[in-house]
Amino acid sequence: MSEAVPRIEYIGRTAVVTLDNPPAHVFTASILRELAAQLNALEADPAVAALVITGAGDRFFCAGDDLNMYVGVNPAEARELTRLLAAVITRLHDFSGLTIAAINGWCLGAGLECALACDIRIGEAHAQFGLPEGRVGLLPCGGGTQTLARQVGAGWAKRLILCGETVDADTALRIGLIEEPVPAGQARDVALALAEQAGRQSPRAFAASKALIHANHAGDLETGLAREREAFGDLFDGSDAGEGVAAFLEKREPRWDHNRSRST
């Protein structure tokens, strides 16, 4: 098996999934496929009552997608790639047990979307959060445009998505992006303690309560993901996506065409 495959460790009835694709734990197509399969297997395992997802080391939770995936793709191929991320996001969101993101460093793009799909987010003091896709001619395609505003409100969602702003753990706590900030190296342990607390709850009461909380959130995640896939693919029917990805990979500033008319 590739070293990039996420690692799974079992602690009591909690499964700890560790993203481990150094240095920044970015998602490739093969990693997303494997992660979706792992999450499906954990959902089907009656011995697993909670899930903690974190990153290896102390610098990155996950820095998002590997942009090499999007080099030279057409709109249909781009939309197909987004389905790989959607499968992971949907499984995290719909997981029957408690899901906790133990955010141990930079949490960007698809990494933040995975964290948003979890029930609870614990962020270490040095963590940074953002959805910088617009800087490379892309947009969040794993529910970011749908779930971030529900979590932090439209204003902050627009700052992170439309302005490409990143926020630290203190700001993330203040705006409701994370539930608890902790010192460096402690997110995993705090997450495991919360998972143990949840394990003391009545299983039927837990399941019913989680379903009711999800139902109270306006909008349907599946519909939102489908809309994002369409919009993401549309970006490849023009120059912005190709130029943005190329500029990032070539370590230069993108040269946008600002003379084109805006979409209506």
State the catalytic residues: 113, 133
Q: Say how far apart CA 197 and CA 99 lie, in whole Å.
A: 13
Residue whose C-alpha is closest to residue 26's, from 121, 170, 161, 132 = 132
**What letter represents residue 214's amino acid?**
H
Q: Cα–Cα–Cα angle for 159, 27, 119, nearest 5°?
A: 60
The answer to whether the peptide bond before residue 23 is cis (omega within 30 degrees of 0) is yes
Q: Which residues contact 161 (CB under 8 A, 6 or more apart)?
A: 131, 133, 134, 139, 140, 144, 145, 148
**Spatial distance between the Cα atoms of 20 and 119, rounded to a whole number of angstroms:** 22
The SS3 assignment for 52 reads: strand
Cβ partners under 8 Å of residue 231, min gap 6: 139
The string over 8-33, giving b where at least 16 C-beta atoms fall within 10 Å of a residue's C-beta and e elsewhere, is eeeeebbbbbbbbbeebbbbbeebbe
CB atoms within 10 A of CB 112: 33
